[in-house]
Structures are given as structure tokens and as C-alpha cells.
């Protein structure tokens, strides 16, 4: 049995510690891009309130055993029921982050989802993940770009396409406005000063170069190269997502199709009708609709659909205990965004392995407490009852 407790860095054994370390190592403009939600950050609190409201029932009088974290999804066996959510501009938060995470995902047999607006190209990520990475699509405004992206994905042997549906408008994020976030970052006095205060980040950025939208670079017109982020997203990646447009993508894509951003029963029913293989119940880490619902309670509401479509979940997951909670409440799989980025920002190259080992150690610990040998055994040992607390 692998003892995960001896494999992670013991100084950073929680999300909060990783986040604090990340803050010390990353310039303010990119750290704030990572942590923020949308508008007043109420959704961020709701996501956490839901996970903090879970109660487990322990079971101690039973035979000794070693839990298994293994999980099958879309015909593939993963070492644990969690993966790395797509994060745009990863290289702005930590240089080379997509490569660090994609490589670790392959080595640890967990999925890594590459964002359309990543700072690394889908070709390079396929190479470092040995063809196991998934690709997240923002439907491009120009159908010719969609067609080219799909053929690049096929050539690079991608097997999983994740369509994100929850960005009909780009989230309004006060800190990004204040910081004038742009890609590549604006080299004004304020940003340069923030970078000087974070020498590890700056040296690493000098080594890997300023981050760019490598997947979209071939399609960005040269006059548009330094748009503010909101403007860039609005002009490039806001293609239609009505039923027929998604159906067209489904018809063009012969492999696994996953729809990310499902928060309502009607969208879930449409995903099934469209022939999606799975959905990710996600509120984009509370970055889009500040007064939306948390994702965890949706597992109970949508339990009757579990036999028809794979239900994965993200938003607010910060530990292996949260993953065990979600699995116990009916999630087939979990994705984490910020947690992995906190770890890479805090620990650089080591950060991806650290995050995976820590999540596994936390899962094992809680499963041993409640007497769950498999992920299925978690069902019935977890209860969710949310009492709203003052924000
Ligand atoms: C900084 C940041 C950038 C993100 N970029 C994308 C993206 O490009 N595409 C996407 O589908 N989701 C994106 N997301 C949402 C994540 O995929 C995921 O849904 C979210 O991070 C989950 O919440 P968590 O951070 O609390 O784990 C982003 C989230 C963050 C925090």
C-alpha cells in the first residue's frame, strides 16, 4: 500500500497554506486573477459553505482494510476520482504551469484539461501527457477557427472534448479591472514593480517568456495583440451555444464529449439529448454568476440522472475530504482548479506531485475513518445540510 503521507511536502499540507505561499511568490495582478470570484465574491463563499456543511458518519468496529481510490470514467481507469480543471492563462500565474501539470497528470493517471485560452499549445500538451490530456473548448466566434481547432485536436490524438457553456459574457471581476489585466501582461510601472517583488516568478518568466494564448495565436489578428482580457474573450471565444450549435460540434466530434457549466435541470436534460457522454456540474469556481447556486447540492437534485450520464463536479473543492464528500453524494468524478494552481505557484515544479499526493492522503484518511473501502462505499456515509451563515 502506498503511504501518501510520506510523499507530500509537510509544510504545505492544506489548501490555505499553499494559497498563502502562492501569494508570497506571485505578482499581485496574477495572484488576484487566480483567487477572485465575480463581483462581490458571494458565490465563492457559497461554494465553500456547501462543502463545509457536509457531515460524515464514522465506523470504527470493523475489519482492517486499505481503501482503493481507483475510478473508471469513460472506459478509462484513473488512479483517483479527481482531475485538473481547465484554467486559462496558467502561465501568467506560474510560468510553464500547464506543462508541469499535464506531465504529472500522465504520471499519476489522472485527467488534465487544457483550456482554450491556455498559455501552452494543445500540441505540446498532448506530447507531454502522452496523448492523455483533455481539451476544453470555448466555441470560437468564427466557425473556420472551430473547424481548424477540431482538426488540430484530432491530429494531436485528443479523445475528450469539454465544451464550456457558462461564459455567454465574461465575468465582471473588480480586481482584474483595477489591475488592467491583459495578455501578455502590460509592462507598466505598477506591474513591473509587482514582478520585481516576486523574483522567483520573474526569473522563471524570463526563462519561459511572457505568456501568450498559444492555442489561439494563429487566429489572432496582429492589430489585436494586446487587448484587455475581457475584450479579447468577447471578440474571440463567444461563439453561439444554442442547441443547434452544440449539436453541430457533437456531430463533428466522434470521441467523448463533456459539457461543463451545467447548473440547471433543463441544461442537464439538453446535454443528454445532445448525446453528451458526461457533464461537469460547475459554476466556473464562482467566476461567472455571483448569486448562483453552489454545485454540491445539485448532486442530490440530479441523482435520478446518474444512470443516463456521468455527473462530474467542480467549484470550491479544496481537499481530498471535499472529493470524498462529493463522491459520497453521487459525483462520479471531481475537478479542481485553484487548488492545483495554488500548489504549482507555491512549489513550482514540485507543486503538481505535491497536490496529487496530498489529495490522495486526505482521501485515504477520511475513507479509513468512515470505513469505506471503495468510492461506492462512501454513499450513505455522507450527509449535506446547509445552514446559511452570515457572509
Ligand atoms: C483563474 C481561473 C481561470 C479559469 N479559466 C477557465 C477556462 O479557461 N476555461 C474553463 O472552462 N474554466 C476555467 N476556469 C474554471 C475552472 O475550470 C473550474 O471550473 C473552477 O476553477 C473550479 O473551481 P475551483 O477553482 O474552486 O476548484 C477558470 C478558473 C480560474 C480560477
Question: pLDDT class for 193, splitting at 50, 70, 90?
Answer: confident
Active-site residue list: 284
pLDDT at 179: 85
Q: Please, what sign has the CA dihedral across residues 113, 118, 123, 127? A: negative
Residue 40 has a pLDDT of 92
Q: Which of 158, 154, 181, 184 is nearest to 170 (CA)?
A: 181
Q: How many CA atoms lie within 13 A of 233 on its CB side?
A: 21
What is the residue with the minimal CA distance to atom 13 of ligand 1?
87
Question: What integer best gives the mean pLDDT of the chain?
Answer: 93
Q: 191 falls in which pLDDT band (50, 70, 90)?
A: confident
Best residue among 41, 241, 287, 298 to mutate for probing ligand 1, ranked by most atoms within 8 Å of CB:
287
Element (H or E) spanning 93, and its range?
Answer: helix 90-93
pLDDT of residue 225: 55
* Sheet with 310-313, edge to edge strand ranges: 82-84, 333-336, 310-313, 278-281, 256-262, 160-164, 134-137, 113-114
Q: Whose CA is nearest to atom 29 of ligand 1?
A: 87
Residue 142 scores a pLDDT above 70: yes
Residue 110: which region, alpha, beta or left (left: phi > 0; alpha: psi -120 to 50)?
A: beta
pLDDT tier, 82 (very low <50, low <70, confident <90, very high otherwise): very high
Q: Which CATH fold would you assign to the domain 4-53+71-366?
A: TIM Barrel (3.20.20)
pLDDT of residue 174 exceeding 90, the answer is no
Q: What is the tens place of the pLDDT at every residue in 90-111?
A: 999 999 999 999 999 999 999 9
Q: pTM of the entire structure?
A: 0.96
* CA-based max dimension of the chain: 69
Average pLDDT for residues 327-341, to the nearest whole number? 98
Residue 289 Cα to ligand 1 midpoint, Å, equals 13
Give the tens place of pLDDT for each residue, 20-59: 999 999 999 999 999 999 999 999 999 999 999 999 999 9
Look at residue 188 in the predicted model and tell me its pLDDT: 82
Atom of ligand 1 nearest to the CA of 113: 17
State the cell numbers at 274.
Answer: 445532445
Q: Which residues line ligand 1 (CB under 6 A)?
A: 33-34, 85-88, 115, 117, 136, 164, 260, 282, 284-285, 287, 314-317, 336-339
Assess whether the previous peptide bond of 125 is cis (omega < 30° from 0). Answer: no
Predicted confidence band of residue 184 (pLDDT cuts 50, 70, 90): low
> From the centroid of its chain, how far is CA 378?
23
Q: Is the pLDDT of residue 224 over 70?
A: no
Q: pLDDT-based confidence at 143, cuts 50/70/90?
A: very high
* Per-residue pLDDT at 391 exceeds 60: no
Query: 338-347 and 28-35 helices cross at what angle (nearest 10)?
Result: 150
Buried b (16+ CB within 10 A) or exposed e, 16-27: eebbebbbebbb
Task: Evaluate if residue 218 carries a pLDDT over 80.
Answer: yes
Rounded to whole angstroms, the Cα distance separating 310 from 162 reads 13
Residue 79 — very low, low, confident or very high, per pLDDT cuts 50/70/90?
A: very high
Q: Is the pLDDT of residue 295 over 70?
A: yes
Locate the ligand 1 atom nearest the alpha carbon of residue 282 and give its number. Answer: 19
Q: Which atom of ligand 1 is nearest to the CA of 118?
A: 8
Amino acid at each position: 500500500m502506498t503511504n501518501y503521507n510520506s510523499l507530500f511536502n509537510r509544510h504545505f499540507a492544506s489548501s490555505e497554506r499553499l494559497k498563502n505561499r502562492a501569494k508570497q511568490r506571485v505578482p499581485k495582478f496574477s495572484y488576484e486573477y487566480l483567487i477572485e470570484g465575480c463581483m462581490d465574491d458571494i458565490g465563492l463563499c457559497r461554494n465553500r459553505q456547501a462543502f463545509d456543511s457536509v457531515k460524515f458518519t464514522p465506523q470504527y468496529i470493523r475489519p482492517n482494510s486499505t481503501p482503493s481510490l481507483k475510478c473508471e470514467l469513460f472506459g478509462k481507469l484513473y488512479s483517483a476520482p479527481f482531475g485538473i480543471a481547465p484554467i486559462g492563462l496558467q502561465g501568467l500565474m506560474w510560468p510553464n504551469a500547464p506543462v508541469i501539470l499535464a506531465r504529472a497528470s500522465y504520471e499519476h493517471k489522472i485527467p488534465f484539461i487544457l483550456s482554450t485560452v491556455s498559455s501552452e499549445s494543445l500540441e505540446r500538451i498532448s506530447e507531454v501527457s502522452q496523448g492523455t490530456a483533455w481539451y476544453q473548448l470555448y466555441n470560437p466566434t468564427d466557425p473556420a477557427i472551430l473547424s481548424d481547432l477540431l482538426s488540430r485536436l484530432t491530429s494531436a490524438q485528443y479523445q475528450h472534448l469539454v465544451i464550456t457553456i457558462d461564459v455567454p459574457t465574461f465575468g465582471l471581476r473588480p480586481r482584474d479591472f483595477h489591475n488592467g489585466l491583459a495578455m501578455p501582461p502590460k509592462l507598466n510601472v505598477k506591474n513591473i514593480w509587482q514582478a520585481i517583488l516576486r523574483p522567483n516568478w520573474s526569473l522563471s518568466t524570463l526563462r519561459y517568456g511572457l505568456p501568450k494564448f498559444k492555442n489561439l495565436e494563429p487566429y489572432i489578428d496582429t492589430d489585436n495583440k494586446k487587448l484587455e482580457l475581457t475584450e479579447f474573450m468577447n471578440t474571440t471565444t463567444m461563439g453561439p451555444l444554442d442547441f443547434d450549435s452544440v449539436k453541430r460540434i457533437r456531430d463533428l466530434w466522434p470521441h467523448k464529449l463533456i459539457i461543463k457549466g451545467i447548473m440547471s435541470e433543463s441544461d442537464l436534460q439538453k446535454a443528454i439529448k445532445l448525446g453528451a457522454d458526461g457533464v461537469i456540474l460547475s459554476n466556473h469556481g464562482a467566476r461567472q454568476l455571483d448569486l448562483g447556486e453552489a454545485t454540491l447540492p445539485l448532486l442530490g437534485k440530479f441523482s435520478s440522472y446518474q444512470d443516463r450520464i456521468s455527473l462530474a463536479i467542480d467549484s470550491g473543492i479544496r481537499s481530498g475530504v471535499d472529493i470524498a464528500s462529493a463522491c459520497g453524494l453521487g459525483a462520479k468524478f471531481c475537478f479542481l482548479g485553484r487548488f492545483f494552481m495554488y500548489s504549482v505557484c507555491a512549489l513550482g515544479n514540485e507543486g503538481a506531485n505535491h497536490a496529487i499526493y496530498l489529495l490522495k492522503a486526505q482521501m485515504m484518511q477520511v475513507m479509513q475513518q468512515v470505513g469505506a473501502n471503495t468510492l461506492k462505499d462512501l454513499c450513505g456515509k455522507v450527509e449535506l445540510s446547509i445552514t446559511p451563515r452570515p457572509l
